[in-house]
Amino acid sequence: MNTLGCDDVRELAPELALGNLPGPERAAVLRHLEHCADCQRLVEELADAADALLLLAPEVEPPTGFEARVLAGFDVPVTRRRRLGVAVAAIAAALVLVIGLGAAMVVSHGGGRSSSSQFAITDPGVVTARFTPAPGEHTQGQLFSYAGKPSWVFMTVRDDGSSDTYRCQLELADGQRVEVGSFGLHDGTGSWGRTVAIDVHQLRAVRLLDEHGATAATATLA
């Protein structure tokens, strides 16, 4: 495999952090990390994000290959772009779950972990926002968006006892609104994500539309 640059490594870092990167690509990324402190830091942060789930889980060691089997449950084409999107979304899901449990961890690279009200990830490409319910609605949740190659959005949503289906609508800086997919809740909770062929830096809001097209909740990005 050819020598990788920082942009290449940023794309592959989530898969490396999850231990899901094929051998040749893994070797190429590790060669790059030997002399790039910035990419080392990114990989460490993503790996710490995945590790945070284990700190909050029941005191039972997950079986060998657990992460791989979870990822295998996604409907993922074999292209590298979609593998990347799912790998990053899996880490985002871990962050969302931690935040939802109200017991997130701030991870210091000095080897210690301390309790905090939020999980700290410093990669500037990741932006988070909370869904605010529309008047009379109870839909809430958390949004993660990532500006990269590919860009993606990922969200978890809750509405006690609901089995509603929501359409995800993106609002861009020029006022354009684009629907990018739909998902359903099961017993009041659901999570969903996908790669998006837009400049996420232009994303201003994400809306959840109910079956009638009315807004159930909105996450606003600066």
Convert the chain into a string of H (helix), E (strand) and C (coil).
CCCCCHHHHHHHHHHHHCCCCCHHHHHHHHHHHCCCHHHHHHHHHHHHHHHHHHHHCCCCCCCCCHHHHHHHCCCCCCCHHHHHHHHHHHHHHHHHHHHHHCCCEEECCCCCEEECCCCCCCCCCEEEEEEEECCCCCCEEEEEEECCCCEEEEEEEECCCCCCEEEEEEEECCCCEEEEEEEECECCEEEEEEEECCCHHHEEEEEEECCCCCEEEEEECC
Domain ranges of the chain: 6-115, 126-220
pTM value? 0.51
pLDDT of 92 reads 54
Per-residue confidence band for 50, with pLDDT thresholds at 50, 70 and 90: low
Report whether CATH 3.40.50 matches the domain 126-220.
no
Per-residue pLDDT reduced to its tens digit, 28-40? 999 999 999 988 8
